């Protein structure tokens, strides 16, 4: 075993299951909040990456970690996940439910100052709330933050992993700050951290019209392709301009033409044919194969790197023209 594996394994063991379980329990306490919206019977169960990582290290001799965790960022992420739940108690007792167009523009401007964008509004479907989790409102503000193309182009690498954790951390802090911004102006808000969220973010962002979920299971946006992380805020504002359409459905057709992520995926974890489960939910990823490689090789990100949409610029329009020409 390499020195990085030994250092990382020691860190994971010292960091410990109790700390992670405490964090998960804190998030699951949201289901007990007064008036919390509960998950539906067919809602997905969240895959608990930290616990599964510990299980791999404890049970498998053939698993070797190549990376080091960015400890400062990781501790900040944990702090802000706790804050996203603890700060709910700061909501006003009788929150406002109406917001002017001018205020919503101020909200977007504040989000942009935190490097958040795109930002859209969407009604949260109950079946996107993870089992054992709860949210206060189905009025959702979905947030996206760009990941560095330079660092994604180095995937799989320590530099990529460090950047990804940094983006998770920055977006998590931004979500908490935007929630605070809303509370200070009389609205109730519940921030949902991008790492280990309470809901399934990619289909929620697709419903918001921000982009379309690609074959690799990641949201593809016109601005940055799949080089984004997602978070959300649930708020008492009832008159948000909710999205009711999505102009990015053509991406699904392009993914069927392309298939580069399928070919380039190191553990061959992206399926050629979509699998539909009994619940009606569709899957394009072999989760265990993806996770085992992800866990050992810097969080991977190869599918993000090779996706043509990651080039950004005029790529979105050029690829759209390809699809339209074939139609």
Q: Across residues 211-235, what is the average pLDDT?
A: 98
Taking only the tens place, the pLDDT of each residue in 149-184 is 999 999 999 999 999 999 999 999 999 999 999 999
The answer on pLDDT for 7 being more than 70 is no
What is the model's pTM?
A: 0.95
pLDDT at res. 87: 98
pLDDT at res. 14: 60
β-pairing, 219-220 vs 228-235, is unpaired
Cβ atoms 156, 299 nearer than 8 A: yes
pLDDT at res. 19: 85
pLDDT at res. 13: 64
pLDDT at res. 319: 97
The answer on pLDDT for 83 being more than 90 is yes
Output b/e per residue, 299-325; b: 16+ Cβ within 10 A.
bbbbbbbbbbbbbeeeebeebbeebee
pLDDT at res. 289: 96
pLDDT at res. 15: 63
Q: Across residues 12-35, what is the average pLDDT?
A: 87
Distance CA 88, CA 246 (A): 31
Average pLDDT, whole number, for the chain?
94
Cα separations in angstroms, 317 against 31, 129, 209, 258: 42, 33, 16, 15
Taking only the tens place, the pLDDT of each residue in 226-270 is 999 999 999 999 999 999 899 999 999 999 999 999 999 999 999
């Amino acid at each position: 075993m390499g020195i990085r594996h030994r250092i990382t394994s020691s860190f994971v063991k010292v960091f410990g299951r109790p700390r992670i379980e405490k964090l998960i329990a804190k998030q699951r306490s949201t289901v007990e909040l007064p008036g919390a919206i509960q998950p539906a019977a067919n809602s997905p169960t969240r895959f608990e990456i930290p616990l599964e990582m510990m299980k791999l290290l404890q049970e498998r001799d053939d698993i070797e970690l190549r990376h080091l965790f960015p400890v400062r960022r990781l501790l900040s992420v944990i702090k802000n996940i706790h804050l996203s739940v603890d700060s709910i108690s700061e909501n006003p007792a009788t929150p406002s439910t109406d917001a002017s167009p001018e205020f919503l523009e101020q909200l977007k401007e504040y989000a942009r100052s935190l490097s958040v964008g795109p930002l859209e509004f969407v009604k949260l479907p109950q079946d996107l709330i993870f089992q054992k989790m709860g949210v206060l409102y189905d009025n959702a503000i979905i947030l996206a933050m760009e990941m560095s193309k330079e660092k994604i182009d180095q995937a799989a690498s320590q530099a990529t992993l460090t950047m990804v954790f940094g983006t998770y951390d920055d977006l998590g802090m931004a979500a908490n700050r935007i929630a605070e911004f809303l509370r200070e102006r009389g609205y109730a808000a519940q921030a949902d951290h991008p790492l280990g969220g309470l809901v399934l973010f990619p289909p929620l962002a697709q419903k918001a019209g921000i982009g379309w979920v690609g074959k690799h299971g990641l949201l593809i946006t016109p601005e940055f392709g799949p080089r984004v992380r997602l978070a959300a805020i649930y708020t008492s504002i009832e008159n948000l301009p909710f999205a009711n359409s999505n102009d990015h459905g053509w991406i699904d057709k392009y993914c069927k033409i392309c298939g580069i992520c399928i070919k380039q995926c190191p553990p061959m974890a992206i399926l050629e044919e979509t699998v539909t489960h009994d619940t009606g939910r569709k899957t394009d990823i072999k989760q265990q194969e993806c996770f085992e490689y992800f866990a050992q090789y810097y969080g991977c990100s190869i599918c993000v790197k090779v996706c043509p949409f990651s080039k950004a610029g005029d790529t979105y329009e050029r690829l759209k023209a390809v699809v339209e020409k074939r139609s």
